[in-house]
Amino acid sequence: MRNYKQYKIEGPNSIWQMYRTISFFKVAYQFIIIECSRICPSVKVKHFLYTKCLKMKLGKHTSFAYKAMPDLMFPENITIGDNCIIGYNATLLCHEYLVDEYRIGEINIGNHVLIGANAIILPGVTIGDHAKVGAGCVVTKDVPAGALCYGNPMQIK
């Protein structure tokens, strides 16, 4: 079960209204940091930018591969343990803007976790220690420690 807060809205869709929930300048700043980091070849520089500039909570030796995408709106809601790999073009979403509501949730990833290429982690998800998320998996619920999850729809083994 995902753990997120849900906010109903009235009027135009939630993306049209997003700057009522977050500052345009905060998003612009985070956009610059994230886009520069996505193409940066140094995992040490990415780690520094994500922890110091975006306030993400990253453990020692956690690495983001080329083009990996942390949440643009609420990166401070991402916590990742030690010695993890976030694969090529993986996306970590702490928000979902829908037509008549929006949702915000934390992402908590344990130690020694592998997130495969092009995986998508949705808001409010916890992934346990030593878990593996297969390439292209859409993680829609919590993943227990040591588990392998894969596919869309997600399956846990």
- The set of catalytic residues is 95
Q: Rounded to an integer, what distance in angstroms lies between the CA atom of residue 80 and that of residue 56? A: 8
Is the preceding peptide bond at 70 cis, omega within 30 degrees of 0? no
Amino acid occupying residue 55: K
Cβ-based neighbours of 37, under 8 Å, separated by 6 or more: 45, 46, 49, 50, 64
Residues 67/88, Cβ–Cβ less than 8 Å: yes
Cβ-based neighbours of 116, under 8 Å, separated by 6 or more: 87, 90, 132, 133, 134, 135, 136, 137
